[in-house]
Each structure stands twice: as C-alpha cells, then as structure tokens.
Structure 1
Amino acid sequence: MEQKNITEYKKEYEIKNHPSIKGVQIIEGKNNFPISWLNQQGYCEYQIYLQYMKGIETAPTSEMTHGSEIHQQLEDIFKQDATPATFEDAVETSKENAILSRECFVVAPEYGIRGFIDEIWMKPDEIVIIDDKPGRTPYQSTMNQVRAYCLAFKSMTGDSRKIKAALRERGTSNLFWIEIFTPEVEKEIKFTIERMQGLLEGSKPFIPTKNPNKCRSCRYKRYCEHFKNE
C-alpha cells in the first residue's frame, strides 16, 4: 500500500475551547470531545469528571509512557517513506489505489467527536480503521473507541465503501479483533456518544465503576469520594 502522511484538510472549522471543561472544544455550536475519552468512559466515567471537569492532574503510568514511546517510534518510521497528502485527495486516490496512513485526524461536528486514528487502510473495496492497544483483549471500551473513529470517518466522507473497525496488539501486526461497521453497530455507538454528551452537558450523572480492582489501580483514587480502601 502507498503510504500517505495526511497533514492538510480542505474543510476548516471555527474552534473554541470550552470555558470550563478541559479538552472539550466547541465546533459548530456543539461540545466536541476526544474520541479516546470513550475508552476512559468504559473504564470509569468518574475518571473523566475528576480529570477534565475538576482539573485533577496525575503523573502518567509506566504503561502510558511505554505506549507513547512505541507509538512515536512507529510514527517516525512511517514518516520516512510516506508522501504528504490532503485528507480529501487521499480518500479519492484510494478508490483506485490502496493507501495506508497513520495518525489520521477525523472530526464529526454533528456528533461532537474528534480524534487521531492510529492507522487506516483505505482500499478500493473497503476502509479498515485500526487502533493499537496493549494486550489482546477486546474490551467494550476499546471497541467503542475504534467504532467512533469509523463513525467520524463516515461522517466526514460519506464514503459508501465497507468500513471495518479493528484492534491491533501494540507493536505487532496482530489484528486480534475486527468487525464490520454495520448500521446496528453505528446505532449503538451513537447511543454511547449521546450519553457522553449528556455527561458534559450535566444532564446525566457520572457513574463510577463498581469494579474494586479498577478502583485499586486507579491513579485518581486518592481524589475520588467513591474509593473505598478495603
């Protein structure tokens, strides 16, 4: 596949930072949050409240630091052979010739989501959107994250090609989970995104996890009123 480094977009939006929620932007009059938050939401919604609404900062874990290092290494290798392209030109070219890109930015103002796809394969007959994760377990939260990337890509392009969501073991070529982005899957992820919007608007409460193992390993536990040290 031809490697394209997508750095430009023909369509531009007026962007404002949310006045009180860190990380949220206002695009076309709607709260717009990073798609990666869906992974955090699936782990514990209350983490989002503590980190972005209360503004509590903690040091990154060793796992997070290691993951960032691997991610950067892959990005540097990719850029050595990739040629620059606009998003729109890459999508159009891929209808005839297969294209691979990394760190592909997608934004869907109508749903209030945005984020960077780890890797995307745009082929004449299908689009494969890949998110790299540690381990080989497809959690609901990680599946939701890559599904939201699919939704944003579809929203941006209106592409009629089959779209697949995939999770890959970080640092390997192992795609340990893959699914077709069907209308049923699309409906489910829209529902999850609507809940996130409700959390940000204050119409829904942040629900903490009930899993004590998650609580014990949480880097926000010392700030969390729901944490019980048993």
Structure 2
Amino acid sequence: MQQKNINEYDKTYDFKDHPSIKDLKIIEGKNNFPISWLNQQGYCEYQIYLEYVEGIETGPTKAMTHGSQIHKELEDIFKKDSTPAKFEDAVEESKTQASLSREVFVVAPNYGIRGYIDEIWMKPDEIVIIDDKPGRTPYESTMNQVRAYCLAFKDMTGDDRKIKAALRERGTENLFWIEVFTPDIEKQIKFTIDRMHGLFDGTKPFKATKNPKKCKSCRFKDKCENAK
C-alpha cells in the first residue's frame, strides 16, 4: 500500500473553547468532544468530570508515558517513508489504489466529535480504521472509541465502501479485534455519543464506577469523593 501523510483538508472549521469545560470545543454551534474521551467514559465517567469540568490535573502514568513514546516513534518512521497528501484526494485515489495513513484527523460537527485515527487502510473495496491499544483485550470503551472514528470518517466522506473498526496491540501488527461498522453498530455508538453530550449540557449526571479495582488504580483517587 502507498503511504500517505495526510496534512491538508478542503474544509476547515472554526474551533471555539467551551466557556467552562476544558478541551471541549464548540464547532458550528455544537459542543464537540475528543473521541478519546469515550475510552475514559467507559472506565469511569467521573474521571471526565474531575479532569475537564473541575480542572484537576495529575501527572501522566508510566503506561501513558510509554504509550506516547511508542506512538511518536511509529509516527516519525511513517513520516520518513510517506508522501504528503490532501485528505479528500487520498480518499478518492484509494478507490483504485490502496493506501495507508497514520494520525488522520477526523471531525464530525453533526455528532460533536473529533479525533486522530492511529492508522487507516483505505482500499478499493473497504476502509479499515485502526486504534492502537496496550494489551489484547477489547473493552467496550476501546471498541466505542474506534467505532466513533468510523462514524466521523463516514460523516466526513459519505463513502459507501464497507468500513471496519479494528483494535491493534500497540507496537505490533496484531489486530486482536475487528468488526464491520454495520447500521446497528452505528446506531449504538450514536446513542453513547448522545449520552456524552448529555453530560456536558447538564441533562445527565456523571456516573462514577462501582468497581473498587478501577478506583484503586485511578490517578484521581486522592481527589475523588467516590473513591472506594
């Protein structure tokens, strides 16, 4: 596959900061959150409240630092061997010739989500959207994250090719989970995204995890009144 470093887009948006929630943006008059928050939401919604509503800061964990290091190394290698490309051109050209891209930015103002896809394979017959994770366990939270990337890509392109969501063991070629992005899956992730927006507009409460093991390893445990 050709390696294309996507660094340009036909359409751009004005990003405005939300007045009270850190890293929440307003795009086309609608709240817009990072897709990576879906992973955090599945672990404990109250983490999102503490970090982005209350603004509590904590240092990165060893796992976070290690993951960022591996991610940067892979990105640097990719950039050396890839050619610059415009997003829309890369999508169109992939209908006849397969390509691979990393760190592809997607944004869907209609659904209020945005984020960077770790890796995407655009083939004439299908699109494979990959998110790198430590370990080999497909948690609902990590599956939801990559499903939202699929939704954003589909919304941006209107592409009618089959889209697949995949999770890959970080630093390897092991795709340990993959599924077709069906209409039923699309409906489910839209429901979860709607819940997230309910948290930010105050119509739904942030729920803390009931799992004491999660509390024990949480970097916010000393600041959380719900910690067990």
- Could you state the TM-score of these two structures normalised by the residue count of structure 1? 0.99
Letter in 2 for 1:118: D
Q: 2-side partners of 1:216 and 1:129: how far apart?
A: 33
Distance apart, 1:157 and its partner CA: 0.2
Structure 1 match to 2:213: 213
- List structure 1 segments (4+ residues) > 4 angstroms apart after TM superposition: none
- SS of the aligned residue for 1:222 comes to coil
Letter in 1 for 2:101: S
% same residue: 78
> Can you list the C-alpha shifts for 1:3-58, whole angstroms capped at 9, x where unaligned?
00001111011211111100111000000000000000000000000000000000
Structure 2 match to 1:101: 101
Distance apart, 1:77 and its partner CA: 0.4
Structure 2 match to 1:36: 36
> Can you list the C-alpha shifts for 1:85-132, whole angstroms capped at 9, x where unaligned?
010000001001001000000000000000000000000000000000
Count of residues in correspondence between the two structures: 228
Unaligned runs of 5+ in 1: none
Distance apart, 1:210 and its partner CA: 0.4
Structure 2 match to 1:122: 122
Q: 2-side partners of 1:136 and 1:72: how far apart?
A: 21
Letter in 2 for 1:146: V
Letter in 2 for 1:142: T
- SS of the aligned residue for 1:132 comes to strand
Q: 2-side partners of 1:67 and 1:151: how far apart?
A: 25
Unaligned runs of 5+ in 2: none
2:86 pairs with 1:91 = no
Letter in 1 for 2:218: C
Q: 1-side partners of 2:21 and 2:99: how far apart?
A: 36
Letter in 1 for 2:88: E
Q: 2-side partners of 1:92 and 1:6: how far apart?
A: 13
- Could you state the TM-score of these two structures normalised by the residue count of structure 2? 1.00
